[in-house]
Amino acid sequence: MEGIWGAGVAQLAPTQVGGPMLLFAVLAAVAVASGVGVVAFNSPVRSALCLIANFLSLALLYFTLGAEMLGIIQVVVYTGAIMVLFLFVLMLLNLAAPGALRESRDLRRLGAGALAAALFVLVVVQAVLPLQEAASPQAADYYGTPMALGRALFTEYVWPFELASVLLLVGIVGSILLAKRRV
């Protein structure tokens, strides 16, 4: 397996703390903290704001990966549109006040926590740990450019692309229908 993933000659060893590592660490910390915050805050507005922070940090991570286009799209679509929609609805429903919904402690939370932990462990053990030596990127450098993305979308992945557009159409129609008031 090592042969495919490239020799483990990392330009920067994982333990070596350098610029990229520091950047990653910061971004990862922000992402983790905001992710936990999304789940933990009682107030939904706070959860939303945490989520925005999470998205932004992820966008920056995409930049580090070299997928610039996608990073931009992340910022524009996710944070710019989806989160705005979330906040809009939250304001509309007037649920900003904490205590509007008391989250009770029940067994499900424990079960969920345990299962999520198990999930995490499984994935790490199965997928992450074996790939520890993979540190050299194999993809072409310009894989994240619009040109590359566009080319891929319109040749190799044209079918899903068209389907996704149909899906978006369906979403539009559906949301308009839902928003209509029955008189």
Partner 1 sequence: MGEVRSLMAPLWMYLALGAFLFATGVVGVVSRRNPIVIFMCIELMLNSVNLTFLSLARFAPWLPVAHELEPKAWMGGPAAVIFVMAVAAAEVAVGLGIIMAIFRLRDEVDVDEMNLLRG
Partner 2 sequence: MDPFALIWWIVLLPLGGALVQALFGGAVVRGLGPQNGKKVMGFLAVLPVALSFLLGVAVLQAHLEAGAGTERTVVLAPWIDLAALKVDFAARVDSLSLLMVLVVTGVGALIHLYATGYMAEDRDYTRFFTYMNLFVVCMLVLVTADNLPLLFVGWEGVGLCSYLLIGFWYRDLANAKAANKAFIVNRIGDWGFMLGMFLILVCIAASVPEAQTDGRWLDFGFILPRAATYLADRPEVATAIALLLFVGACGKSAQFPLYFWLPDAMAGPTPVSALIHAATMVTAGVYLVSRMHIFYVLSPVASAVVAAAGAFTALFAALVAFGQTDIKKVLAYSTVSQLGFMFIACGAGVYWAGMFHVATHAFFKALLFLGSGAVIYAMAHNQDLRNYGNLRKYLPITCWTMFLGYLAIAGVPPLAGFYSKEAILGGALASRHAAASVAVWAGWIGLVTAALTAAYMTRLTVLTFFSGEERWRRLQPAHAHDGHHGHGTEMAVHPEDHSHSAHAPHGHEDPHGFFYTDEELAARAEPEEHHHELDASHEPKEAPPSMTFPLVVLALLSVVGGWGLQHWAGLQEFLQYPGVQLLPKGTIQEHPHGVPLMALSIGAAALGILYGWIVYRRGLPAKEGFDESAWHPFRRWAGRQFGYDDLVVHTGVQGGDLVAKSLWKGFDAGVIDGIANGLGVLACGLGRGLKAIQTGFVRSYALLMLAGAVALLAYMVAVLTRIGGGN
Task: Return the residue of 8, 14, 98, 130 that touches partner 2, per CB under 8 A.
Answer: 130
Give the footprint of partner 2 on residues 24-83 (CB under 8 A): none
What span, in angstroms and rounded, lies between the C-alpha atoms of 53 and 30? 8
74 and 97 in contact (C-beta within 8 Å)?
no
| 32, interface contact from partner 1, partner 2, none, CB < 5-8 Å by kind | partner 1
The CB density around residue 61, as the number of other CB atoms within 10 Å, is: 18
- Indicate whether 178 belongs to the interface with partner 1 (CB under 8 A): yes
- Indicate whether 7 belongs to the interface with partner 2 (CB under 8 A): no
What span, in angstroms and rounded, lies between the C-alpha atoms of 24 and 15? 13
- Indicate whether 116 belongs to the interface with partner 2 (CB under 8 A): yes
165 and 39 in contact (C-beta within 8 Å)?
no
What span, in angstroms and rounded, lies between the C-alpha atoms of 116 and 110? 10
Q: How far is the CB of 82 from partner 1 (least distance, A)?
A: 5
Task: Return the residue of 77, 91, 97, 162 that touches partner 1, per CB under 8 A.
Answer: 77
Q: Which residue has the tokens 């993305």?
A: 149
| 97, interface contact from partner 2, partner 1, none, CB < 5-8 Å by kind | none
Cβ-based neighbours of 9, under 8 Å, separated by 6 or more: 135, 136
Give the footprint of partner 1 on residues 98-127 (CB under 8 A): 101, 103, 108-109, 111-113, 115-117, 119-120, 123-124, 127
Residues that bind partner 2 (CB under 8 A): 1, 108, 111-112, 115-116, 118-119, 122-123, 125-126, 130
